[in-house]
Structure 1
Amino acid sequence: MIVFDGVVKQFGDNVVLSELDFTVAPGEHVTLIGPSGSGKTTILRLLMTLEKVNRGTIHVGGKCLSHMDKGGKRVPADDKYCREVRKRIGMVFQQFNLFPNMTVRGNLIEAPCRVLGLSKEEANARAEELLELVGLSGKIDEHPTRLSGGQQQRVAIARALAMRPDVLLLDEVTSALDPELVAGVLALLRDIGETTDITILCVTHEMGFARDFSHRVMMFDRGKVVEDAPPSELFTQPREQRTRDFLRAVLDRH
C-alpha cells in the first residue's frame, strides 16, 4: 500500500531522509520510533504531499505521489492529481487541527461533502456513526473549544475516518494530551485497528502502544531505518545497539 523507494529529503544542507526504502502492506500497522529529529514526521508530511521529495519516489496504492502520466509522458504531479491521491489518506495530527469556528458535526461533514461529493444526509449519517464509535455521540453540535483535549483528539480521529481512507497516518496523537487522557485515545486506536482493514502508519513515543498495536516497528535514526522487526522481537531482543540505547533511554524515563 505504501512504497518508499530511494527517498531523499533535505532542507538546505540538512539531509532529513537518506535513500530511504520501506514498504507497508495493505492492512498492516507499522509504527515508527526513534529520537526527535530522526525524520519520522517528515515521512508523514511527504505522504500527505505537504512536502516534496528531493530524490526517489513514493507510491500509495500503486499511484506515485510526485509524478503523473500526461499524454504518455511522466511529468511532475499537479495540484489536482495530488488532491485525488490524498483522498485515500487520512491524518491525525498532534495538535488536533480542528476548525474552531465549526461544530463537531461541521468538522466531520465538511470534507466528505466537498471532496467526496457525499450528500449532507450521507455525511451526517456517517458522522453520527463515527461519533458513536469514538464515544462522543452526545457532542455532535458542540464546538471543539468546549471539549477536553482527549475529546478533541477523538473528534480528530473520527474526522480522518470520515473520508474512508485506505491509509491512516497518526503523528504523536497523544503528545498534547494530559497523561490520564492518553489511555482512552490509545484504546480507541487499538479498537479501530482491530475492527477495520485500514493501513496505519504511526509515529509515537508510547512504547507500550507501539508494542500492542503494531505488526512491525521501525527504529529510525538520522533519516535511516536502523532496525525493522515485529514488536515481540524489537522490544525484547533488539539486534542493533542504537535501538537498545534508545529503548533504554525512553523506558527509563517512563
Structure 2
Amino acid sequence: MPSPADTHENAASRATGTELVRFENVTKRFGGTTVLDRLDFSVATGKHVTLIGPSGSGKTTILRLLMTLVKPDEGVITVDGDRLTHEERNGRLVPAGERHVREVRKKIGMVFQHFNLFPNMKVLRNVTEAPVHVLGLSKDEAEQRARELIELVGLSEQLDKYPSQLSGGQQQRVAIARALAMRPQVLLLDEVTSALDPELVAGVLDVLRDIAQSTDITLLVVTHEMSFARDISDAVLMFDKGRIVESGTPEKIFSDPEHERTREFLSTVL
C-alpha cells in the first residue's frame, strides 16, 4: 500500500519528465507551532500545481521556504536537482552558503500578495532592473524582453508610468512581468489577487490563464480562487495542519473529493 507521501507526489508530478521541485521530510516550526509536518511532495517540470486549504495550513510557508525567506527546521528542498538549503562539502551535506542559495534561487520567481514594485521607477525599469543587475543582461536585451512581457500582460501603453499612477490590478500585472523577466524555471503565485478590489481580480486571473496556456513555465500556486485553480491546474493538493490530506486532478478534488476535511473546506469556498 503506498504511503500518503507517495500518493501526493504522484498526483503532483505524474506523467511528466523531469522533477523540478522536491520537498523531502520538510518540517517548519514557528515557536511551538508546527506549520509544516514532515512534508513530502514534488512538482514536475512544466506542470501547474495548486495548493488549497484553510488559512494557517502551511501553504504560503512552502512558497516562503522556496524563496528562502524562511529556513526549514528539518528536511531537504531540491530545485532542478540542486539542493536549495544544503550543499555537499567533503562528502557531507551541510547548510548551504549564501552564494549557493543565490544561484539556486535564480531558478525561482515569485509574485506576492502585495505588488512590491519600486515606487521611484517607471514600469519599464521595474521590469528591467533585476535582469540587468542580477542576471547580467545588457540594457538593450533586458528592455526588449521587458517590452515583450509588458505586452503579454496587456500594459504596453503604461511603460512610462510610475506604480502610483496605476490601478492595483495593473501593478500586479507589472509584478507578474517582473517575475517572468528573471526567466525562472518555476513561478510561485501567492494569493496574487487577495489585495485587489473585486472588479480587478478577473483581469489579473485572465493574464495568468494566458501565461499558463501559452508558456511551458512550471507554476506552484496558492489561491482561494477555486475556479482559477480548476482551470489551470494539473494537480491540486489539499492542506490541513501542515500536511497534505488529499491530492488529485482538479476534476477529482473539486467534483468528488474523498477526504472529509476537503469536503468541509470546499463547502465554505465554492
TM class by smaller structure: over 0.9
1:145 aligns with 2:164: yes
Q: Distance in 1 between matches of 2:75 and 2:98?
A: 19
Q: What is the identity, as a one-letter code, of the residue corresponding to 2:251?
A: S
Percent pairwise identity: 65
Equivalent residue for 1:53? 72
Equivalent residue for 1:219? 238
Q: Distance in 2 between matches of 1:103 and 1:69?
A: 42
Provide the alpha-carbon RMSD of the alignment: 0.8
- Trace 1:193-204 onto structure 2 (pairs within 5 A): 193-204=212-223
Q: Distance in 2 between matches of 1:70 and 1:223?
A: 31
1:67 aligns with 2:86: yes
Equivalent residue for 1:161? 180
What do the CA deviations read for 1:137-196 (whole angstroms, capped 9, x no partner)?
Answer: 111111111100000000000000000110000000000111111111111101101111
Q: Compute the displacement of 1:73 (Å).
A: 3.5
2:139 to 97, 104, 120: 120
Q: Distance in 2 between matches of 1:77 and 1:98?
A: 29
What do the CA deviations read for 1:4-43 (whole angstroms, capped 9, x no partner)?
Answer: 1100000111100001010101000000000000000000
Equivalent residue for 2:204? 185
Equivalent residue for 2:264? 245
Q: What is the identity, as a one-letter code, of the residue corresponding to 1:111?
A: A
Equivalent residue for 1:22? 41
Equivalent residue for 2:151? 132
1:31 aligns with 2:50: yes
Report the TM-score when normalising by structure 2. Answer: 0.92
Q: Distance in 1 between matches of 2:94 and 2:28?
A: 19
Equivalent residue for 1:170? 189
Q: Compute the displacement of 1:74 (Å).
A: 2.5
Q: What is the identity, as a one-letter code, of the residue corresponding to 1:103?
A: K
1:109 aligns with 2:128: yes
Equivalent residue for 2:11? none
Report the TM-score when normalising by structure 1. Answer: 0.97
Q: Distance in 1 between matches of 2:54 and 2:21?
A: 23
Equivalent residue for 2:3? none
SS at match of 2:113: coil
Q: What is the identity, as a one-letter code, of the residue corresponding to 2:27?
A: V
Q: Distance in 2 between matches of 1:71 and 1:37?
A: 39
Q: Compute the displacement of 1:105 (Å).
A: 1.4
Q: Gaps spanning 5+ residues in structure 2: where?
A: 1-19
